[in-house]
Amino acid sequence: MAIEILKLLVRSADSWIFEGSLSGLSDREWMALRYLARANKFSRTPSALANFLGTTRSAASQIAAALQSKGLVARKPFAEDKRSIALCLTEEGEKFLKRDPMNALRDRLVALDVTDQFRLRDTLRSVLDGLDVGKRRHHADICTECMFLIERGEGKDRHFRCQLFRKSIAQKDTTQLCAYFEGRSERGQLQAGV
């Protein structure tokens, strides 16, 4: 059964991984573009991109430069620290993502019954979290699942704060990816070597 599941996962990835170069982007460039489209304001740096891609900062900078040369990404200084740069999608980059080869797989997943979507998501998350813990690596995920997010108030008085960066976060940003994510239960697992 495990081999059959693995073959199905590889087959599903085959529907979009190797299609990337047909659109003028390598698979790594697609990964970077997808990540930057979903990353929060703290996670759009070359270092965070390198961490997400599992590569060096130099290699991530080359990928960002390739995306910039194609007009899909722009480098902008951070408002708080002009020495640091943020990698931001351009309008052309946002349009380009509409042609993402991964969209066909996404559409098939959307067509599933909601119960099956939740079951598949939870099962895959469990498998991947186990791989991350085993390799002692972190992954990007959304703020609402992160141990550093503090939520206070209700209704119009509701506000969010990241304990790690000691900064306020807009509610819309809590559903974006963060490269500094740490799950509520992960810290104990990583420290214990589970």
Residue 58 domain flag? yes
Full-model pTM: 0.72
Average confidence (pLDDT) over 173-177: 80
**Structural domain includes residue 102:** no
* 18 and 88 belong to one structural domain: yes
Amino acid at 170: A
pLDDT 10s digits, 43-65 = 898 988 998 888 898 999 999 99
Give me the residue label for tokens 């990816």. 177
Q: Is residue 83 part of a domain?
A: yes
Half-sphere exposure of 149 (CA within 13 A, CB side): 25
> 117 falls in which pLDDT band (50, 70, 90)?
very high
Shared-domain flag, residues 144 and 78: no
Which phi and psi (to 5°) does residue 29 adopt? Answer: -65, -40
Q: Which domain holds residue 86?
A: 2-97
Q: Which amino acid, 15?
A: S
Which of residues 51, 80, 97 is at a domain's end?
97
User: What does the pLDDT read at residue 185?
Assistant: 62
Asked whether residue 112 is domain-assigned, the answer is no
Sole residue written with tokens 């979290």: 129
pLDDT of residue 67: 96
Instruction: Supply the CATH number for residue 20's domain.
Output: 1.10.10.10
Task: Look at residue 153 and tell me if it is in a domain.
Answer: yes
Instruction: Quote the pLDDT of residue 183.
Output: 75
